[in-house]
Structure 1
Amino acid sequence: MTLRSLALAATFTALLATPTVAQDADATPPTAQTIALEMFSEASRSLRAGDMESARRLMQAALDLKPGHPAVLRALVTIATRAERADDGFEALEAMAAAGLAFEPADETIALLDAADPDRLADVRTALGRNETPVGNGEVVARINRPDALIEGVAVDIETDRIFVSSVTERDILMLEPFARDEPVVFADRDDGLWSVFGLFVDDRTRMLWAASGSVDQTPLADGEAGGTALFAFDLVSGELYRRYTIDGAVQLADFVVRDGSVYISDSQAPRVYKLDNVSGELEVLSEDPRFVSLQGVALARGALYVADYSMGIWRIDLTNGSASLVRTNETSLIGIDGLRQTRDGRLIAVRNGARPHQVMAIDLDPTGVEVAHVDVLLRGHPAMGGETEPTLVDLADGRAWLVANAAWPLFPADGSTPEAERPATLIVEMDLR
């Protein structure tokens, strides 16, 4: 390995082997994410230089920091192919299959592995393909023909059987009555101060519809209008805005969960999780940790808060002191989880769209709540989840789940320009979890 490679490997070893120590106040402490990214970059440089062994070791170290990360596993396949190391290629592909990922090896990889062990190659390709076979059932209960809306979130009011969905690009909350599921009406919009709307939650206790709102590249702002982010509470009966909650330092309030009048909310662009104790209170920081990368869905289970991190997995956050630790996974990849909710018995229901295949998973934790015990795929390969779209957020109630099955994020340019591709109607799929 090169001197730089050895230094990075030493840093990685130290991170794993030693406790965190006090650092200079002005220094930015290294995190698993920053070290893994540096290792990924150095491995790429080693690969271009023809130093295959350094590339392999660095990429394997990055995988130890980010278990089940599909990009790292794909890189290991590439390195093994370039180095003509069939066993390494098999191990990376078998790890992908065990992680529940799908992948089609390149022709040169197939040629290398077929020459080494055609039976083993056939087995691993079968396992990878199996990860894309359809699983589960779901009924399309609403079709929202608003192609410019970019629907992201969903919430259901069990008492009235109304469904609420959030729009990123039209800056509103739409309501679907039980007798007119395909005829959305505007419940709240930019006149209420909304920017793009992301997570939604119906709180039966307060009879409030909660909404997280913020500005992203796809948010249409008027000339001179400033972006921002806030948590909104609307009266479910009248539709009137009850209150808007902000906090200094927030960048993009994303998804959240409500229980007993308290709200726990993630910030997808800042390493923070916030808490609101009651409707008359103020947002405060529950947990702030530089290890957080891209926080998404939030769930309460087993006396703790669980927050999906798109790049790292799932964090378990202590509700008393805000300390965070990554949930230890089994072989299943927890990378790319967007929506996250919990059932009454403590199962985590997760929507994965940042890795192939897109799917809805049920995650059972061990008795301590710090480790994954088992994962079931609940929905995969559903016709509503096809095309250049992705499932996003999910809501649970009464033993059922409602999923935004085909959000059109991939079809909306990051620069906020008008999409050229035709966008499909947004489909809400209902699943029976009982």
Structure 2
Amino acid sequence: MVFKVYIFLLFLCFSFLKSLKAEQLLYLEDNFFPEGITISENGDIYVGSLKENKIVKFSNGKKDFEEFIPSESNNLLSVIGILADDRNKVLWACSSNPGVTNYPSENPVTSLKVFDLITGNPLGSYELPNGGFCNDIAKDSKDNIYITDSFNPRILRLNKSKGRLETWFENDSFKGEGFNLNGITFMDNHIYTVKMNSGELFKIKVKENGVPSNFSKITLPRPLNAPDGIKTIDKNNLLVVENKGSLSIIKLSDPTEITVIRDNLDTPTTVAIKKDTAWVLEAQFGHLFGEEKNVPPGKFKIVGVKLKTSLLTRLKSLLNISN
């Protein structure tokens, strides 16, 4: 047993040093305050700015970004959630007004914007009925687009034939103080969404005709810590950003499990997956809304976190060493 522990400690040191070397970083411009991120099938990374009302693009494999959609294009407000829709060759963007932009509008209209995925040209804008806060975006297997409204207890869906957003599902469980519904994703004929202020995870079945059914709250081992962005890894696992500093995997087993795979992040907001790497934004919102409001933020980073089982985990299994 002593020999096993010795080998384990050696590999622990090796694994730690290897993980430090392996972590990838991309950097954004000063004052950017990123909120939304998405990755296209060809590996291009798109990032939206809460402060600058624009979207930038890192072409596949590049470390330098280019301006993709300029500030205020198509009356763009602060950019919240964004989604690359490769099949339809468009980029969806939530345009909302949290009141911190460098480009204030006299009559801000909360809406869902759509741009050409290649050129960035504006293609349309869909106002949220009765206002609200367009937060995050998901697409189902039939190309239907869903958004969360953080200020109203509803999920909206785009009626493309009528050119408007409509309430798809509304429930009192989505009510609360401050920011409510946040991240949203689609997996295996179900919509999953998180509620930021309560740390809850919800599941709604999408029937063949598109009607919502079988709404439920998923039992978790603990409340999520201010959940923000959420993405599907596979049919059994979700990736969730916990705004207080962590990136976690939710295993949809019985019982449900939550595993933190990266912590000590500076106000992480959203995440996108590229192959075996999760790219998570550090928004540093404490320098925008919090106690450090008058303190300049550090460099804005996108942190690449490996999703594969770590060498440390595999070694512990091999040596039959429990947590």
**One-letter code of the match for 1:229?**
T
Given that 1:301 and 1:347 are in contact with CA atoms closer than 8 Å, whether structure 2 keeps it comes out as no
Matched with 1:314 is 201
Structure 2 counterpart of 1:229, from 88, 107, 110: 110
Given that 2:27 and 2:300 are in contact with CA atoms closer than 8 Å, whether structure 1 keeps it comes out as yes
Q: Does 1:379 align with 2:262?
A: yes
In the alignment of these two chains, the number of paired residues is: 282
Report the 3-state secondary structure (helix = DSSP H, G, I; strand = E; otherwise coil) of the residue aligned with 2:118.
Answer: coil
Structure 2 counterpart of 1:300, from 186, 191, 194: 186
Matched with 1:401 is 278
Deviation, structure 1 residue 241: 0.9
Deviation sequence 1:271-310 (CA, Å, 0-9, x none): 1111125587432111112221311100112421111101
Report the 3-state secondary structure (helix = DSSP H, G, I; strand = E; otherwise coil) of the residue aligned with 1:181.
Answer: coil
**One-letter code of the match for 1:266?**
T
Partners of 2:116 and 2:255 in 1: CA distance: 38
CA distance change for structure 1 residues 188 and 372 in 2, over 3 Å: closer, same or farther?
farther
CA distance change for structure 1 residues 221 and 185 in 2, over 3 Å: closer, same or farther?
closer
Partners of 1:350 and 1:166 in 2: CA distance: 19
Percent identical residues: 23
Report the 3-state secondary structure (helix = DSSP H, G, I; strand = E; otherwise coil) of the residue aligned with 1:248.
Answer: coil
Structure 2 counterpart of 1:140, from 24, 45, 54: 24
CA distance change for structure 1 residues 243 and 428 in 2, over 3 Å: closer, same or farther?
same
Matched with 1:411 is 287
Partners of 2:130 and 2:185 in 1: CA distance: 23
Given that 1:362 and 1:377 are in contact with CA atoms closer than 8 Å, whether structure 2 keeps it comes out as yes
Matched with 1:109 is none
**One-letter code of the match for 2:91?**
L
Partners of 1:372 and 1:143 in 2: CA distance: 38
Given that 1:171 and 1:190 are in contact with CA atoms closer than 8 Å, whether structure 2 keeps it comes out as yes
**One-letter code of the match for 1:305?**
I
Report the 3-state secondary structure (helix = DSSP H, G, I; strand = E; otherwise coil) of the residue aligned with 1:291.
Answer: helix
Deviation, structure 1 residue 425: 1.6
Matched with 2:249 is 362
TM-score, length of structure 1 as denominator length:
0.60
Given that 2:37 and 2:270 are in contact with CA atoms closer than 8 Å, whether structure 1 keeps it comes out as yes
Please report the RMSD computed on the Cα atoms of aligned residues, expressed in angstroms.
Answer: 2.8
Deviation sequence 1:38-70 (CA, Å, 0-9, x none): xxxxxxxxxxxxxxxxxxxxxxxxxxxxxxxxx
* Structure 1 segment 189-204 matched on structure 2, within 5 A: 189-204=71-86
Deviation, structure 1 residue 154: 0.9
CA distance change for structure 1 residues 322 and 256 in 2, over 3 Å: closer, same or farther?
farther
CA distance change for structure 1 residues 191 and 178 in 2, over 3 Å: closer, same or farther?
same
Structure 2 counterpart of 1:324, from 202, 207, 215: 215
Partners of 1:176 and 1:152 in 2: CA distance: 15
Q: Does 1:155 align with 2:38?
A: yes
Partners of 1:241 and 1:271 in 2: CA distance: 29
Structure 1 counterpart of 2:231, from 316, 321, 341: 341
**One-letter code of the match for 1:301?**
M
Q: Does 1:266 align with 2:148?
A: yes
Give the unaligned 5+ runs of structure 2.
1-15, 309-323
CA distance change for structure 1 residues 311 and 324 in 2, over 3 Å: closer, same or farther?
farther
Matched with 1:110 is none
Deviation, structure 1 residue 419: 4.6
Given that 1:210 and 1:234 are in contact with CA atoms closer than 8 Å, whether structure 2 keeps it comes out as yes
CA distance change for structure 1 residues 346 and 244 in 2, over 3 Å: closer, same or farther?
farther
TM-score, length of structure 2 as denominator length:
0.79
Give the unaligned 5+ runs of structure 1.
1-132
**One-letter code of the match for 2:166?**
E
**One-letter code of the match for 2:88?**
T
Partners of 1:155 and 1:398 in 2: CA distance: 13
Deviation, structure 1 residue 174: 1.1
Given that 1:363 and 1:372 are in contact with CA atoms closer than 8 Å, whether structure 2 keeps it comes out as no
* Structure 1 segment 24-35 matched on structure 2, within 5 A: none
Partners of 2:165 and 2:274 in 1: CA distance: 26
CA distance change for structure 1 residues 204 and 407 in 2, over 3 Å: closer, same or farther?
same
Structure 1 counterpart of 2:99, from 202, 205, 217: 217
Partners of 2:47 and 2:186 in 1: CA distance: 22
Partners of 2:111 and 2:226 in 1: CA distance: 24
Matched with 1:246 is 127
**One-letter code of the match for 2:250?**
I
